[in-house]
Chains A and B, each alone.
Chain A
Amino acid sequence: MSLKYGVLGLLKGEPLHGYEVKSRFEAMLGGTWDVNIGQIYTTLQRLERDGLVRPVGGRGDRGKQSYELSPKGQQALDQWLAEPDVGPQQLHEDIYVKLLLATRIANGDLKGMLARQKRAYLQRLRDLNRLEEGARRDGRIDLARLVRGALLHTEADLKWMDELSSERFGTEGAKTQ
């Protein structure tokens, strides 16, 4: 997801100035995405340049400029919301590369690596469970859903570790060198 559509989505409700966009965006994400105010201003300027938002009212307090969604911005937002996420799956974590390297390197402590990674995933599951519980307690059902998604992903990671642990590893990976 890019910040662009997050900003458009927030402006759909009501006109906001840069700082309001930042604080509402961060509140919506429940602290899972920090943005700096500079990114927000840059994004707003680009959106204005592309005709997706437009300034509304004069410059208020301390020169703050509010923006509203334009019809074109509304259309772009609707289209983005309606599109499924396609494209390559994002695998950001180092474990994917570590695994490939460990199977190539002789005496690589693969079992140990998998066991340590499994523990890290267990701890993450515990942390996510607590986060989900907290979100529900705060009445943030939307955020609890996001955390639930992360929980299920981590569960899959854990299953992957178990599957790998029960596998016999040779040097099969190295053949493609």
Chain B
Amino acid sequence: MTSTVEEKTAQPQAEPLVRLTDAGKSYGSIIALSGITLEVSAGEVTCVLGDNGAGKSTLIKIIAGLHQPSVGTYEVEGTKVSFSSPREALERGIATVYQDLAVVPLMPVWRNFFLGNEVRKGPRMDIPFMKKTCKSELLDMGIDLRDVEQPIGTLSGGERQCVAISRAVYFGAKVLILDEPTAALGVKQSGVVLKYILQARERGLGVIFITHNPHHAYPVGDRFLLLNRGKSIGYYAKEQITRDELTGLMAGGGELEQLSKELESMGGAAAEAGHELGEEAHDLGVSQGRDPDE
């Protein structure tokens, strides 16, 4: 069940910050991604869901500027772009927070915060300013570090995520790509990160939130793109799908329904199993509206 996304008619037309149209990526004979369409506008969160191997990391790399799409177009604020390095994407305001966080564990928090964007006073750095700013930015997010001089490797996973996100936001990111930020976190830490995603949305950023957890995605997302084996199996706005449907699709609901039909047509014991499977698929809410008991 696919549907086109309806334009928001409430406010004046603004180009989406990031839009991929029918994008795909091949490495030699391997097709990693194909036929991907997604967009994110300012003040919106687009969730990209999919299990391992679905092609999420390839998609991130394309948006972040590490790779270029083999087919399709990539537009930023309506203009076609072709990034040859992450630095270029960064300059256009597209910031990526990776799963492994792009932090240097041995370096102090404030050095990590300003890495690549150091504030200079002539030939040297303005260290007092950077330390003060780092501390206050983190405080805004609810992290009170006793010493921003401590190596960032000594922070907990959630704290590190927040530092990375805070860094991206501080440096004027317009689009934030978060690569599985909650994957390795506990419940409370995940809550903090989700809260911060919403804060970023409030500030007018666009967020692309990649995850394999629909329970994290649904509360914060405005659009949802589901990936499976490099292809899109669905692209919905929030109004068009419920959380259960989302979960079901991710659990492979569409395939379950397909399987149940095949089993039923085989007859005998298989048909019975197929019937049960069909019921389950219906319970998950992913069948095409057909109740097998009818």
Asked whether A and B interact, the reply is no
Binding site for B on A (CB under 8 A): none
Binding site for A on B (CB under 8 A): none
